[in-house]
């Protein structure tokens, strides 16, 4: 997952990539909780394909989809790239595989590669922009990058001020990064 996150959100000179921003940690935590188990959803057969507006439907939970798909992805890569798993590939080959999954040109044995790419993309993006409390957006990197002030209690003075950078650092639900309790 870290290798996928780093190709979906590659690092640059100003911002860490998906791996260092904690996107894989975010996904892992989500899959270990109610989202990953599809708690609160109807989970009994018969399963039918729903419309786009009805959301994802099916027998496998997100955690099961990830397990199957990541295993199938590594099997695919090992068969096409001299025994190398996805994480061991050079970046250009990783990009090629991910583009193939996105377009449907790369098929995975035992998993829907296109659906997996869509799910991973959505979850990695969520992890990049989530509150750090959930494991992603480490050090508020995404919020700093886009100028999002975070979980501040009051923006009234800024509601009508457009195209101006907010002068204060972002704040997560648990407080600022540089804040430490005195004790």
Quick: pLDDT tens for 1-50.
Answer: 999 999 999 999 988 999 999 999 999 999 999 999 988 877 778 877 77
Report which of residues 113 and 157 the model is more confident about.
Answer: 113
Structure tokens at 172: 């997560």
For residue 183, is pLDDT > 60? no
Asked if the structure places residue 165 within a domain, the reply is no
Quick: pLDDT tens for 138-153.
Answer: 999 999 998 888 888 7
Asked if the structure places residue 172 within a domain, the reply is no
Contacts of 17 (CB under 8 A, 6+ apart): 5, 6, 9, 10, 11
pLDDT at 130: 96
Asked if the structure places residue 125 within a domain, the reply is yes
- For residue 108, the cross-strand partners are 111
Quick: pLDDT tens for 151-178.
Answer: 887 778 888 888 888 888 888 988 766 6
pLDDT at 31: 97
SS3 state at 43 = coil
Asked if the structure places residue 182 within a domain, the reply is no
CA–CA dist 26, 136 (Å, integer): 5
Domain residues for 32? Answer: 2-146
Helix (H) / strand (E) element for 95: namely helix 91-103
- Mean pLDDT of the 72-83 span: 98
Asked if the structure places residue 153 within a domain, the reply is no
pLDDT at 173: 87
CA–CA dist 19, 81 (Å, integer): 23
State percent of the chain over pLDDT 90. 66
Asked if the structure places residue 101 within a domain, the reply is yes
Mean pLDDT over each residue of the chain, to the nearest integer: 90
- For residue 150, the cross-strand partners are 171
Asked if the structure places residue 162 within a domain, the reply is no
Asked if the structure places residue 178 within a domain, the reply is no
Give the chain's domain count: 1
């Amino acid at each position: 997952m870290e290798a996928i996150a780093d190709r979906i959100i590659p690092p640059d000179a100003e911002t860490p990539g998906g791996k260092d921003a904690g996107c894989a940690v975010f996904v892992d935590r989500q899959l270990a909780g109610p989202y990953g188990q599809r708690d609160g959803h109807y989970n009994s057969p018969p399963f039918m394909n729903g419309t786009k507006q009805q959301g994802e439907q099916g027998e496998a939970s997100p955690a099961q989809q990830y397990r199957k798909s990541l295993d199938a992805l590594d099997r695919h890569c090992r068969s096409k790239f001299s025994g190398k798993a996805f994480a061991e590939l050079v970046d250009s080959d990783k990009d090629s595989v991910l583009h193939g999954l996105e377009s449907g040109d790369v098929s995975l044995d035992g998993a829907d590669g296109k659906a997996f790419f869509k799910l991973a993309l959505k979850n990695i993006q969520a992890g990049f922009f989530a509150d750090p409390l959930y494991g992603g957006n480490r050090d508020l990197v995404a919020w700093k990058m886009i100028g999002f002030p975070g979980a501040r209690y009051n923006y009234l003075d800024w509601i009508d001020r457009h195209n101006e950078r907010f002068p204060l650092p972002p704040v997560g639900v648990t407080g600022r990064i540089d804040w430490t309790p005195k004790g």
